[in-house]
Structure formats: C-alpha cells, structure tokens
Structure 1
Amino acid sequence: MNFFTFTFPAYRPGLLLVSGMLFLIMVWLTFSAIPPNTNRPFPRSSTTIALADDSTKLYLPDDLEASVWAESPLFFNPTNMDVDARGRIWVTEAVNYRQFANKPETRLDHPNGERIMILEDTNQDGKADKSTVFVEDKDLISPLGIAVIGKQIVVSAAPNLIVYTDENGDDKPDKKEVILTGFGGLDHDHSLHSLVVGPDGRWYFNVGNAGPHLVTDKAGWHLRSGSIYTGGSPHSTKNEASQKSDDGRVWTGGLMLRMNPDGTGLTVLGQNFRNSYETCLDSYGNMWQNDNDDQVATCRTSFLIENGNAGYFSTDGTRYWQADRRPGQDIFTAHWHQDDPGVMPITENTGAGSPTGIARYEGDQLGAAYRGMLLSAEAGRNVIYAYWPQKQGAGFALKRQNLISSLSKDNVNYKWNETGKDARMWFRPSDVTVGTDGALYIADWYDPIVGGHAMHDKKGYGRIYRIAPKARRLVAPPLDLSTIEGQIDALKSPATNVRNTGVSVLRQRGAAAIPAVRQLLTADNPFHRARAVYLLAQLGPEGRRQVETLLKNPDGDTRMVAFRALKAVLTPQQLIPFCGMLASDADPSVRREVAIALRDVPMVDCREALINLVKRFDGQDGWMRVALGTALDGKKAEVFYPELRKLFPEAPGQWPEPMASLAFETHPRAAVSDLIMRANSPAVSKQGRNQALTALAFVQD
C-alpha cells in the first residue's frame, strides 16, 4: 500500500464564589507545566509473538510487553482506528484498496463496499474475541479515518465526510448523513483523513494535496483549494491552484480544517502539506502531525501552529519545490520552502519513510515516564517513533526515539519502492491509538511494500498489537455517564474521543458542573488540568470568569490554555482586552497565541498590542515570526510598516534582527526601497542580503 503516494442539578452562586476564591489560590500553587523529559533512551528488549502468518519479534522498552490483540479474519486491511466508551476498537478497512490497480479477482474483495468493524475483548483477557460489522457501504472506498463520538461514527472517505448515527446502541446505523462533500482524492491516499474532537468540542480533520477540494459547509461557506498536483489515481486528473475561498484567502495543498459538530463554521487552520496522514490534538490544544516527502528523505514530524504554512508547494500552489530550489539550499530546506516568508519551521526531519497515524499519550497507566509522549507511526521503516516535546521559543523541539519496532536497528536504508523480502519488514503500522485502559493499540497493515500504491498482500491480512506494562494488568474501566462522577471519569480518559463524551454531558449541566470540574484544576496530571480549563470556559459566564483569573496564573502553559479556551467561546472583539493584557507576556507561547488571535482584528483595535508583541520579538524565533505574520495578514502589514520604522529607526543596512525578520516576513510594498538598500548594503551579511532579496521577490504587485 502507499498511504501517501510517492509518485507524486442546580448550584448556589454565592457559595460557589466564596469557595472559589480559596480554590483558585490552590490552583495557582499547583498548576504547572508538563515536567520536562530527558529524552533518555529506554532500555529495549524483544518479545516473540506467534502469529497466523509468521513469527515476529517486536523490540520495545523493557518495562512494556506486546501481544496480538486482534488479527484477521476478525477484520482485514486496517487503515485507521478509534475507541468507544466501552473500550471497543473501531476499525476502517481498505480491502478494495485502489480498485483500478488491484483487480478484485486477484485479491480479497468486498463487492458490497468497505466495512467498519467493531472489535471487542468481552472477557477482558487482553485479546479481542468478538467482531461486529457496523456497516458495509459502497460509498466507502478505502476510507482513511474514523471517529467515534458518542452515538455518531464519523468516517472519512473522499469525497465525503460521512456521519453514521446509532440511536439505540444496537451497533447498526439508524441514520447516514454526508455532512460534507467535495473533497478530492477518490480512492487516493492523499485525500480525506481522520477527524478528532478538540478540547473545545469542535471537530478537527485534515486532507491531503489530491485536490481540488471544493466544499460547502452547512452554513453555505465555500472552501476552494487546490495546487499543481495531479495523478496517483485515474480520478485525479484535474486540479487548480490559486483559488480563493469565501474568506478571501488562497489555501494550498493539504489542509488542516475545523468545523462545528453541526457542519457549520468550516475554517482552515493550516495549509501546504503534502499528505499528512493524520493530525492529533492534545489537551492543551496543540496540533501535531507528520508528513511524507517526495522520495528525497525529507519526511517530517511537526508542531502545527494555527494558520501554519508547511511549505510543500510555492505559496500559490503553482510550483513544486524543485522549481523554487535556490543555489546552496539543501534538499530538506528546499523541499519545505524553509527560506520563504510565511512558512513555519519544520520541527524534525525524519528522513526517508512513510509516516501514518499519530497520537499523544496523556495517561498514567503505562507509567510516569510515558506521560506526554508523542507517538508517530512509521509504516515504511517498521517503527513507532516516540517524542517528548520540549518548548523552544514559541514552538517546540522534537527528538525522536525508536519506541517499538520489528527491527533491532533503525531501518535508515528504507526505499519506498523496494519489496521487503524479510518478513520482519512487513510490519506496517498504519495507526496508533490509546485505549480506555491506557494501553497502546497499533494497527498493522502487514504488507511487503507500502510505496508506489502497491499492495502485495492479497489476503488482506491485518492485526492489532496491544502494548501494556509488564508490571500490572490494564482493564478498560466501566463509565457510568448517568452520574457526574462517571462523567468526570470520562473526561479523564486517556482515549481522545471518549473524553469528549464526558465533556458533552458535563457541558449540558452548565454551571452546576463547575464545582466538580474545577476540582481537576489541582489534579496531578497536567493534561487533566488543561481539559478542565477548556471545559470551564464552556460552562457559562461563571465558568468563563474562573478561566479569566487563570490568565494571571504564574505558569505560562496555564495562561496559554486559558487564553485558547476563551478564544474558543468569545468573538474576536470580545477577546481584544485579553490580547492587550497578554501582549507583553513573559511566555513566548502566550504571545504566539495573542498574535494569531489578532489576524482578523482591525488595526485600530490592536495597534498597541501589536507594538508590544514586536517589542518582545527577538528576531530569531521562527514560530513567533510566522505568528506575527499572521497578525499582520493582508493590508495590515502595509498600515503597520510605519510603526515598525518608528520602533526600529536604523538605516536598513543597520537593522537589528527583529526588524529584518519582520520586513522579510511581511514584505509590504512600503518596505521595497528599504529592502533594496539592505540587499545592496556591504554592511549586511550574505545571509541578510539573501533574506532581503527573497522578501523583494514576494512583494505583491
């Protein structure tokens, strides 16, 4: 397979307020950031696992063990997984993968369409023993994503995002709705990917670059996006770059999207990916993704800043990176346009590979050392990478480890078009997720190859590994959603979409849920604390007031989460006072979020906040640079340039780094003469002159 196409209850308000003051003092003392991890390598050993088709060793940390939780014929060819509140695993199958290339008579075939399977361990012995077909639908052609959101099962199957609803819990859909349609990439790996519920209750999902994506949300808002990319499928013969959406902006390549659960409010949150297989959100609201490359050993794992441009195509989507490569640029820099304005830093180059599912481990069940771990499945190199994100300026640094692999050493010689003759290299993790029991579940596509749209396994064999601690037995806990205690337990679940089940019912309680939710603000687990902040903001005026007090918390992560939580429930105009208050914050991540929030605020309302943000900019932080570029989007850059010159009155040849960096990032017409002077100044370094020339090349006529 090729997942990424290498071919190109009432409450008493008075009592609440009195007790709340004392409680919030406790919160100030206990709410702190995720403790840093030293990124030390875990001692690893191997576990031999007997399977139906072979005998495989998985190498993993000494304190963890692996077992086959499920395998064919309980399901076939897994592409994506999710977990429900009962701890069951839901799987999308792609048996009819790329029907135009893999003829039905040569492989396992499901003539009535692909299936969504429910797998269950009924006796809690650590192995699935029951398999149920939830739906078999001809509209499902190699679906690449699934999200179980209470009674709703959301399946990503280009061109459609489909919502099946099981009203009575009999594991059969009672209703089917195509909530969005018009995504490119029918039977194509660069198409519509999985959806996840964010901590704010909205739905987040991404698409690959197999456009065009011509989508209208339920409120009538139109997304129009494309690029130069065609091919990889007989259905992908036409595409178009430089299209404008209803927000007046040009969005290019693969996209990160958000919408309300009712299908309204479609919004672009990131662009210009190649084919990010999946994006995960952690409880802080951070977005994480991986992406594959163009056959040149430049895959990436990245923190995705809101409105971030990952830089695969030119800004307008009309050119590949090869056409834009400048003399002296290494391939990685050119591949992701890292020397262009408006492009976010690419956090880590993972080299050659085929990255797939991604998840953040926020639970405690595996042990304290694993809390906060970012997991990235790598099907090409037969491994699950692990990262412990470390704050770096307004972004993050990532350093990977091979956490789980079928090989004892890193497969650095992986080539996308080679068939694995060694069965150990048929371990092809297509997804990784966290169960309600806190164990890791890894879907294995299992095939000799994952490049060039090939699929050599004709049996459709697949399996799911379960990774759990050796020292104790993990069991999926029962969740009683009829009680507030059970709802809080659901909110604390390590399974992403299960915790939203708790959020949904607690939100319905309104202010009556505040006492129970705020107890989590002093929880030991910082992810639980972050979830409580987001939920409090959704519990009416009193909940929002409590979140507002956290904007003055001594911990930067707390202030950042509180600001994001308020941003999710307030209008841009209502958020302006908080932007002004935090524009000079000591934590770069807080200032980053303020800058992003100012994009659609008129200059007259945010001038002072922008000035304060610029005053704190060091000129070297690429994440903060692109955030400030977001704040100065469009005509605001022209209007603000005189303010920049007041702040930095030096001659262009003597500009300090903040001025040079912002002139490069925003490149307004008003800066042309200054940029020409700087490009010609012998006092400026070669790198500085190149930066000025690049900025001139991006000035709009």
Structure 2
Amino acid sequence: MKQTLVLVLLVAAAPWLSAAPLRVLITGNNSALAGPYSAALKAGGAQVTTGDASDAKLAAADVVILSSDKFDPLPAGSQEALTKFARRGGGIVALNGAIASGPKQWGLDDSRKFKSEMMLYVVSNSHPIVKDSSPFDIMDDTYYDLDISDKAFVLASAFTLYGKDSKRGEGPRIPDRDARSSIYDIQAQMWTYEGETHRAFVLLQGAPETMAHASIRTFILRAIAWTGKQENIDAFVPKADLADLRYPVGGPLRAADSIKKFQMQSGFAANVVAEEPLINKPIAIQWDGRGRIWVAETPEYPNGKRSLNAPSWKETGVPDPNAKLDPKDEKRYVRPGRDSISLLIDSNNDGLMDKKHVFYTGLELVTGFCLSGDGVIAVAHPNIILLRDTDGDGVADVEKPLFGGFDPGDTHFVANHFIEAPDGWVYVSTGSGADATNPETGKVMARISPGVFRFKPDGSAIEQIASEGGNSFGGEVTSDMEIYHGKATSGNPIQHVVLPETILARAGKTDARSLFNVNPGREVARKDLPERANIRQIDQVGRYSAACSTAVYEGGAWPKDYNGQIFTTEPILDIIHCEKMTQDGAVMKGPEKIEATSEWLRSTDYWFCPVDVSFGPDGAMYVLDFNTPVVTHNDTRGPQHSKSGASVRPDRDQYFGRIYRIQHQSAPKFPAVDLYNANAAGLVAAFKHPSKVVRFNAIRILCEKSATLGKQAVPALTTMAGSEPSAPSRILALWALSRLGALKDDTLNSAMRASDSSIRKNAYLIAEAAGIPINGAAASAGIGDKDARVRLATLRALGASPMTSEASSVLLASNSKLTDPWSKAAAAAANTKAPTSQLEQVLSDAGGAGQTEESVRAMAAALASGSNKGQIPGVLAAASRSANAPLVIATLQELGKITSPPPGAAGAMNALRTLLSSSNKKVAAATLPIAAGWDKGGSLAKESTKVAGELLNIARDPKAPETSRAEAVKVLLPARSLNKFILAHVSALLTQPQPEALAKELVNSLAATGEPEAGTVIVNSYPTLPESLQEEAFSAVVSRPEWAKLFLDAVEAKKIAADKLAPARISRLTSNPDSKIAERAKGIFGAGSASGSKDELVTKLLPDIDKPGDVANGKTLFSA
C-alpha cells in the first residue's frame, strides 16, 4: 500500500530559525548543482558543502539538496539521519529522483512518466518561490500518479497523458513512442510542504536543459532560502535571472520581442502602445473626442466571482480563490469586481502609454463599452450600466443600470462591441440570450437572442436586430450604416445584417434570414497548425473556431484598396485575417475561395492572442492581445469545466495584456482634434475627417450638445447634406439633421436622387427611422434602384409610416417582380401599412393584379401576423367572389394559421359559408381551419361538418393518393375543435402501417396539436416507426415534459427498448430542461451513458483502432 509522500518523517519540535550564513549541503550527482547553483549560493553568502546525507554532514547543514537521476531509496542510515535533520527543523529540497529517497514501501519509481515538450504551469504569485513568474515550455519528463500529501502546496503542474476515460484505452501509451499530454488530467510537478518543524520543496524534473533554465534555477535557489527560513527569499538569485522571470525562455515574450515574431504585409510596421503591468487583459478599446485611448480590462475572465470547481492550482481563472463565499449563494465569492475602464496616457509622446487614469473599477466580467455624455456605457455582469463623471474629476461617481439580465451562465457568450451609430442607437453583438429588464421595475423590455441588438443610450428602448445561434465576439457599423456581426465558433466568422428582424417579424412566412454568411467555411491560410493538445484547435480545424472582431477599414490612412475591407482574427492560430468584400445583390460576400498562402498577419509566438482589432483616429490598426497560451473557453473534448463554462486549466492568467499599433509606412499624419471644446462649425467640419472614429465621435458629441449647439450647426449641416462630395460626410449630415429635427423635405428628396447609392440608401433609412412618408415617385425610384440595398431601404421606409395610395400602388405593382427573399419579405412587411388591403385588391382583380401565388402567400402571411388583422374580413369577402382559385387557396392557407378570430370576424360568416360550399374542394378544405376557429356560434356547422367528413374519408382511404391523404391530415387537425372524434380518427391512422409521407405528416401534425392524446399515440407508435421518422417523433416527445414522461414510462415498461436508443437521444433525456425528467432519465439510463453493449464493442475494437494506420491507403482515401 502506498504511503503518503511527504519526504520526511514528521516529528514534534519547537520551531527553529537558521542564522546567517545559511549552510547548504548538496547531495547527489547533478553537475549543475555543483556548478552554477553552488556559485550562486556562495555569491549570496551561503556556505556550501557536498557529500552524502550522513549524520555528520547533516549536522553541519541548515538545508539539504537531495538530487538524483535514479529513483532509488537512500540507505537506511541516511534515512534515519534525514529524520533527525527534520526533527530539528532542517530544510529539504528534493529534485527529480530524490523523491524516492524514503522507504521502499513508498513504491516510488520512474515508470509513471513520459518525455515530451511540456508546459510547466507555474501558479504565479501563489507562493514566494514563484513570485512574479510565468509558465514556460521545457523538454523533460512529466510525472503522474504520485501519492502526494493533501497538505502539499502545489506550485506548478502539467497535463498528463491520461484520457477522458481510461477504460477506453486513452490512458498511458507506450513511453517514448506515442506518449503525449492530453487535456483531461492535471498533476502536480512542483510543490512545497510545511511540517510542524521543517519545510520541504519538491521539483520532479531534472534534465540538464531544465536545470539550466533561469526560472528553474530561480525556483530552486528561492526554495533553498525558503526552506532555510531566510527573510530574503531572493538572496541567492542572480539579478539577471530575476529580470527574466516574467519572460522566461519558452514562455511569454516581452511585447517588443513579440512584435518581432509578426509576419506582416509589406509596407506596414508595428509598435507597442501599452503592455503589462500597465494594462492586464484588454478586452475593448475606444477613442474619445480628443483622440485618447480608453480601454476595458478584464482580469476577471473567465470565472469572475464564481467559486472554484477544482483546486486553485488547476483552475487558475479565479483572481482570488481565497475570498469568502457568499452565504446567500455559495457558488460566488463576496468581493469587489476586479475589471476596470481606464484612460491611457502617453506623458512623453513617445507612442508608448506610461500612465493609466482609472475611470472606474469594480466591474465583473466587462466585455464591451462605448463613450456617452460625461461617461461610458458598459456591459458587465449583470447589467448594461451608465457610468458618469458628474464632477469632472475624471472618475465615475454615478453608476446607473440601464438594462438588467446580462448575466450569462457561460461567460464567453457575452455582449460585446458597443458602437453608437449615426442613427443614435448603440449597436451590440452578443453570443447569449438575455431577458433585458428595466432595472427599476424588473419588467422585461426585450428578449434578446444571440446576434445583434441595439438600445438607446438613455435606456428608453432596446430591441433585437438580427439573430442566429452561436457564440459571438465581433461587431461593426460602417459609415453607410451597414452592420456586421462576428460568429466566433461556427466556422462562418463574418456575417452581414441584410434585414432587421423587426421587418422579418412583420413579413409573416419567409425564407429570409436577418444574417448572411459573408465567408462561410473560410479556411485559414496557415498550414502548420498546432498539434499539442493544450493549444490546438478543437473543432473547425483549419477554419475559424475562435474568430474575434469584424472591423471594416475606414481609417483614411492606408492605400485605397483597403477601404471597405474587413478584418477578423483567429487567436488560436495567432493570425489576423483580411477579407475583401463585394456587394452581391442584397448581401455582402467575400470571395468563394482565397488563394493566398499566408494570412494578413501571422505571429510565430503562440502566446499572441489577438482578441480584437480596431482602427484609431490616426487610421492605424490597434490590436488587443490577451497574451496567453490558452484561447479555448469551453472544451468540447470533455475535460472538467468551471462554473463559468470554461474548461478547468492551469494556464488562465490575469496578468499579461498588450495593445499593438500597426500602421502603413506611407500613412499621412492627421492633425490632433479636440471635439469636446469645438464649436458647432468645428464639429460639423469633423464630419469630413478621414477617420471614421473621429466622424462618429463628432456626430455623437454634436447631438449630445444639441441644446446649445444644435441650431448653430443646422446651416452648415444643410449645406453638407445637399452638396458634400464625400459620401460618408454627407450621410452623417443627413442623420444629424434628422436627429436635430431640422431635416427639410427637399434635402431628403435630393439625397434620394444622389449619384452615390450609399447616400440614396441612407436617405430612405432616415425616412424609416423618422417615420417620414415617401411619395409615389420616391417609392418608384427606390424600388426600381439598381442597388438592391437601396431597394431594401425603400421597402423598409414604406413599412415604417402611413403609406400614400400612390406609394401603395407602386408597391403592389412591384411585388411579383422581386426576386431575392429579403426584398420579398420587406415588401410583405410594407404591405401591412397600405391604406387599404392590397390582398383585397388582388383578389378582386380578374387577373390577380399581376401577382403570383408566392407573392400572394407572402402578403397573406404578413397580414395574418401583423397588426392590420381588421382587413381580413374584407379579404375573405373578396376571396368568396374571386374566380382565381390558386390565389384564393394560398390566401386561405395562410389566414388559417391565425389562432383567434380577428376584429370583424362575425361579419365574415357569409363569405366563409360560400367558401366552404365551393365546388373547388381545395378551396373548401383551405377554409375549414378558419371556420373552425371563428364560428363560435355554430352557424357554419352544416358546411364545416360536410367538408371535415370528406377530408376524413380521404385521410382513411388507402387507395387515395398519398399526398391527398397527407394534405387532408394537415387540414383536419387544426380544425379538430369541430368534432371531438377528428383527433381520435386521425390518431388511429398512426397506429397502423402507413406510407412514409403520410406517417410523417401524421407525426408532425399530431405533435403540433400539443394534445395529451396525441402524445400518447406518438409514444405508443414510436417502436414501429421507421428510423427516419423516429427522430421527428422523439424530438416532439422531448419538447414536452408530459410527453417525455410517457416516453420514460414506455421505456420502463420495456415497450421501448432502452438498448436501441442512440446515445444522443439518451443524452437529450438525461439533460432535459425539465429537471424532473432529467433526474428520472438518469435513474433509468445512468448519467447519460450509452448502453453496456456499446462499451463492450468499443473495448473489443480498441486494439485494432490503436494500430498504426496505412499512410498510403489514407492518402488514397482523402485524395479521391
């Protein structure tokens, strides 16, 4: 049985303090100890002797260094002498094989090790021995499975080669052949121990190169002083070694040295703007009205105040693991936040920031901010807050929450990139959902989902703009009001907001999505991908799996070819990527394929971690570098995770952080600006500055000072809005006039006719934002514009205000001519604002007013989901008179999706009776769901019953066409309120073998009802369904707790075979959002594990899986 490894026998004795000079005995055969180490000790005043660990030698020593390259126990006499030595308080430093110095029953040998390039994860500042140190790579042995005392204090660790599940062969491999570290198991490699009378230090590594490493030398020399109880722990450490302790060989580089590792485009140069210790973990950057840098820092990332799930030496993402736990929530610490927002100062104008003025500290997990008024607006758990400096001392003294609900469980699904756009809204990207609440009332103001949202700086409004699931860290609003969103982990790093969801929501049925992938599946131009488990990509390998930033170049200082190009980063691969976008109809696209052999910037320093790029008022790129070896947050390979959703790792540092500036060598130098002290004319003039940052600050400050400067600015703004040749400047002037309430109709109309399409587009966007009706001529010009982005803006404007009859006619005439899904959706949304129902006009026209089934369906869907439902009775009346059956059917099918009668429904009964009695059976069938939902008095019972009976006969007739039977089911179930037997008869069909198309419609239509009887039928039919339909049935079942309960009942009753369920389905039960279902499922299946037969199969196949592959065959396979 293994005994606890403490190196020496513990004995009781009074504390003993050494007196100078320290007497050090070096044992063993390590030449480095007799050389450089001995010299350093002597230079520090120590007395050094060598020899074995005998009574005589130890009697004349205060500290003994035990060193051996063999794992052999010391002779019994030496062990007894060490016991006495410890009894009197001697210090012990054990290196490499010396940990086996004790009795043989300790069972320590060198079999539990493997040699590889390893990172020694030093827990900096956790102990005096590792003060101001950093992790670093060495080539040496990693040791595992040593029985270390619980009282040991771990100073450094490493990943071992153990896998997630040792039963499946992922444990130790053959040494020196394929041994390599994984990311599942972290074990101590260096530690201290304090007994009642003595101190001990252990370092497991001992290769000659390791012993020559300056940091290792520092740790050992400090350990000698510490175990010898010296006051000055650095007494023996050479100053040169101390100077490099933060920047060791194999570890992080100094910022100036890291730049030398940049492989950049020709003509560009980089310099350091700020570095640690001045800044730590910069996450967001802004420039104020004087061109000064403001930065948000987040040493709290990733865990914030969440408590540890693992020992602090393993889980290093907690700034203060010794803080007290909150008695109300033991998952959180009680302490102030550590994140801050500061102004950086270059006091000597050398380009390197040397001072920091902290505007506000105390935030938890800040991820984005923007300047606003006399302060900033920031997001930090759990709010979006306004921080104000009301007394002008440069420090925030008022903290006002604007919106609550921003406290995601996983701390890399966060709101980020706050940009106050020309329209006065702050646009934000987010990777998480949130119920944005009013902090004072707690009322939900908006339900935010991953994507883009915006809010008013005064907190009066917040709304979703675009959504798509997935993590995000990147957002941009350009000078011409195009919005970009970054998707970090999907492999589709850059997305363009084509149409806001506020428009799509009014469009009803549409295939359009708010976001469009600019560069789907973009591969990185880096072939030497990292292979070590701790730093390699996990998924989307060779693509973008941690993309950050979507910054469009509008800096005015680089060659013109860069204008409008967009930049993103891949921190795992140490690159900055440049994408040249072009407009393709309504969307922005990157090239189908990029032939480049290298990225815009690549660093060969793998600590380089560019989490953001932005462009400053000088037109240069500013790179925020977390400077860390770990980028991965949650790890899908399955190691232990923290309460923040981050994988538990020993390399989550809170110290490093840099800002780099990259500028073109031919860039002009722009004159300094001071927008805060500028008058109205000066602010308007700044609209023409080459840099977008300055231009956006100018309009923000002008509008913030509208009470004093607004009227004075109007003449100059009007002139600029009417004739300024620079499109970005003219666009800003138009927005400023609109926000100041001084935009004249002729100025706006002139802009709608401008030669530059970006000006025309923004003129229509202003009409939308301000609710300005546009006339027929403007509507015709905009919808007919060659630029699809102008067309979309026109349609948005038509749907934002009361529509004139002329504009309505233009819109109706254009419907069938629109080709892209976004234009169709925008037109459908705009149709709901027509003065009279356009559908009624279409159905009343013998030729259908030139419309198609598709355009009519879109109009009907928009009407059904919009706010003008009072038009529906008139539409039905027109439908009852129409001879155009296809258009009538399309209209009725969409209106049949309304769940409750609209205003005036009672007056539509005669029209519904006519439609139900139509000789066209499809018209009658399409009418049935409407009649079932609206006819509360039963006046249509005769007609409805007749139609329902005919449909039921078709559904049950095995000789009827399969598509007709499926269509009958689709109509009958929404009309089940007509007769209680409809559900029963239709459900009975699923209990019998049916053609696949009919079975699929039965499953989906029954699931849509939500009825308990439907759930019972789906569960009972599950075992007999084909596999292709079992997934649809299962998805329906697990979506409702009451149906999931029925499913588990069937499993327990063995009506559904547990061993036939795929692991993914079991997981969906054991991780069900309903906790009762999840717990019950775990009891049935275990904690989401697969069946025992699968484990047996894996075990059986592993010997073959572990055999070396055939390279030639593999090459043939992947080259085919």
Per the TM superposition, whether the score is higher than 0.5 is yes
Which of 109, 121, 124 is equivalent to 2:319? 109
Q: What is aligned with 1:155?
A: 378
1:503 paired to 2:706: no
1:595 paired to 2:790: no
Indicate conservation of the 8 Å contact 1:179/1:263, yes or no: yes
Matches for 1:35-434 after TM superposition, within 5 Å: 51=255, 54=258, 56-99=260-303, 100=306, 106=316, 109=319, 112-113=336-337, 114-137=339-362, 140-185=363-408, 188-209=411-432, 211-216=433-438, 222-225=444-447, 253-293=449-489, 298-308=491-501, 340=511, 342=513, 344-349=515-520, 350=522, 351-399=543-591, 408=598, 424-434=605-615
CA distance in 2, matches of 1:131, 1:554: 47
Q: Report the Cα offset of residue 529 of structure 1.
A: 2.4
Q: What is aligned with 2:1097?
A: none
Q: Report the Cα offset of residue 75 of structure 1.
A: 0.8
1:514 paired to 2:714: yes
Q: Report the Cα offset of residue 375 of structure 1.
A: 2.5
Q: Report the Cα offset of residue 118 of structure 1.
A: 2.0
Q: What is aligned with 1:318?
A: none
Kindly tell me: are residues 426 and 624 of structure 1, through their superposed partners in 2, closer, same or farther at Cα, counting changes over 3 Å? Answer: farther
1:494 paired to 2:716: no
Q: Report the Cα offset of residue 669 of structure 1.
A: 5.9
CA distance in 1, matches of 2:834, 2:718: 42
Matches for 1:13-24 after TM superposition, within 5 Å: none
Indicate conservation of the 8 Å contact 1:641/1:670, yes or no: no
Amino acid at match of 1:440: M
Kindly tell me: are residues 190 and 541 of structure 1, through their superposed partners in 2, closer, same or farther at Cα, counting changes over 3 Å? Answer: same
TM-score by length of 2: 0.45
Which of 651, 656, 659 is equivalent to 1:464? 659
Amino acid at match of 1:173: A
Q: What is aligned with 1:685?
A: none
Q: What is aligned with 1:415?
A: none
CA distance in 1, matches of 2:842, 2:360: 59
Indicate conservation of the 8 Å contact 1:356/1:378, yes or no: yes
CA distance in 2, matches of 1:431, 1:50: 20
Deviating more after overlay: 94-103 vs 58-67: 94-103
Matches for 1:633-652 after TM superposition, within 5 Å: 640=839, 643=842
Kindly tell me: are residues 152 and 630 of structure 1, through their superposed partners in 2, closer, same or farther at Cα, counting changes over 3 Å? Answer: farther
CA distance in 2, matches of 1:519, 1:293: 46
Secondary structure in structure 2 of the residue aligned to 1:352: coil
Kindly tell me: are residues 439 and 83 of structure 1, through their superposed partners in 2, closer, same or farther at Cα, counting changes over 3 Å? Answer: same
CA distance in 2, matches of 1:408, 1:642: 59
Q: Deviations over 1:235-257 (max 9, x none)?
A: xxxxxxxxxxxxxxxx6x31422
Q: What is aligned with 2:759?
A: 558
Q: Report the Cα offset of residue 213 of structure 1.
A: 1.8
Which of 523, 528, 536 is equivalent to 2:737? 536
CA distance in 2, matches of 1:645, 1:382: 63
Identity %: 22
Indicate conservation of the 8 Å contact 1:382/1:427, yes or no: yes
CA distance in 2, matches of 1:465, 1:449: 20
Indicate conservation of the 8 Å contact 1:159/1:186, yes or no: no
Q: What is aligned with 1:3?
A: none
Q: Deviations over 1:261-312 (max 9, x none)?
A: 2111322222234233232211212111111345xxx32312113424999x
Indicate conservation of the 8 Å contact 1:68/1:464, yes or no: yes
Kindly tell me: are residues 126 and 515 of structure 1, through their superposed partners in 2, closer, same or farther at Cα, counting changes over 3 Å? Answer: same
Q: What is aligned with 2:672?
A: 477
Indicate conservation of the 8 Å contact 2:296/2:369, yes or no: yes
CA distance in 1, matches of 2:441, 2:737: 27
Q: Deviations over 1:32-56 (max 9, x none)?
A: xxxxxxxxxxxxxxxxx96267564
Kindly tell me: are residues 519 and 579 of structure 1, through their superposed partners in 2, closer, same or farther at Cα, counting changes over 3 Å? Answer: closer
Which one has a larger percent strand, Structure 1 or Structure 2? Answer: 1
Kindly tell me: are residues 549 and 473 of structure 1, through their superposed partners in 2, closer, same or farther at Cα, counting changes over 3 Å? Answer: closer
Amino acid at match of 2:590: L
Equivalenced residue count is 565
Indicate conservation of the 8 Å contact 2:569/2:612, yes or no: yes
Indicate conservation of the 8 Å contact 1:142/1:157, yes or no: yes
Indicate conservation of the 8 Å contact 2:555/2:616, yes or no: no
CA distance in 2, matches of 1:117, 1:400: 42
Secondary structure in structure 2 of the residue aligned to 1:391: strand
Amino acid at match of 1:126: G
Q: Report the Cα offset of residue 583 of structure 1.
A: 5.2
Secondary structure in structure 2 of the residue aligned to 1:467: strand
Look at both structures and tell me which one has the larger radius of gyration over its CA atoms: 2
Indicate conservation of the 8 Å contact 1:384/1:402, yes or no: no
Indicate conservation of the 8 Å contact 2:775/2:804, yes or no: no
Which protein, 1 or 2, shows the higher relative CO under an 8 Å CA cutoff with sep ≥ 6? 1
1:445 paired to 2:611: no
RMSD after superposition: 4.6
Secondary structure in structure 2 of the residue aligned to 1:531: helix
Can you give the 5+ residue segments of structure 1 that lack an aligned partner in the other structure?
Answer: 1-48, 226-250, 316-338, 413-421, 682-689
Kindly tell me: are residues 465 and 167 of structure 1, through their superposed partners in 2, closer, same or farther at Cα, counting changes over 3 Å? Answer: same
Q: Deviations over 1:397-427 (max 9, x none)?
A: 2349999x9x945999xxxxxxxxx962332
CA distance in 2, matches of 1:206, 1:627: 23
Indicate conservation of the 8 Å contact 1:580/1:608, yes or no: no
Indicate conservation of the 8 Å contact 2:738/2:766, yes or no: yes
Indicate conservation of the 8 Å contact 2:774/2:803, yes or no: no
Kindly tell me: are residues 104 and 136 of structure 1, through their superposed partners in 2, closer, same or farther at Cα, counting changes over 3 Å? Answer: farther
Kindly tell me: are residues 542 and 520 of structure 1, through their superposed partners in 2, closer, same or farther at Cα, counting changes over 3 Å? Answer: closer
Q: Report the Cα offset of residue 388 of structure 1.
A: 3.9
CA distance in 2, matches of 1:309, 1:173: 35
Indicate conservation of the 8 Å contact 1:429/1:442, yes or no: yes
Kindly tell me: are residues 664 and 219 of structure 1, through their superposed partners in 2, closer, same or farther at Cα, counting changes over 3 Å? Answer: same
Secondary structure in structure 2 of the residue aligned to 1:87: coil
Indicate conservation of the 8 Å contact 1:342/1:629, yes or no: no
CA distance in 2, matches of 1:447, 1:637: 62
CA distance in 2, matches of 1:485, 1:402: 45
Secondary structure in structure 2 of the residue aligned to 1:553: coil
Matches for 1:649-660 after TM superposition, within 5 Å: none
Indicate conservation of the 8 Å contact 1:342/1:665, yes or no: no
Q: What is aligned with 1:670?
A: 892
Q: Deviations over 1:310-339 (max 9, x none)?
A: 99xxx9xxxxxxxxxxxxxxxxxxxxxxx9
CA distance in 2, matches of 1:460, 1:61: 30
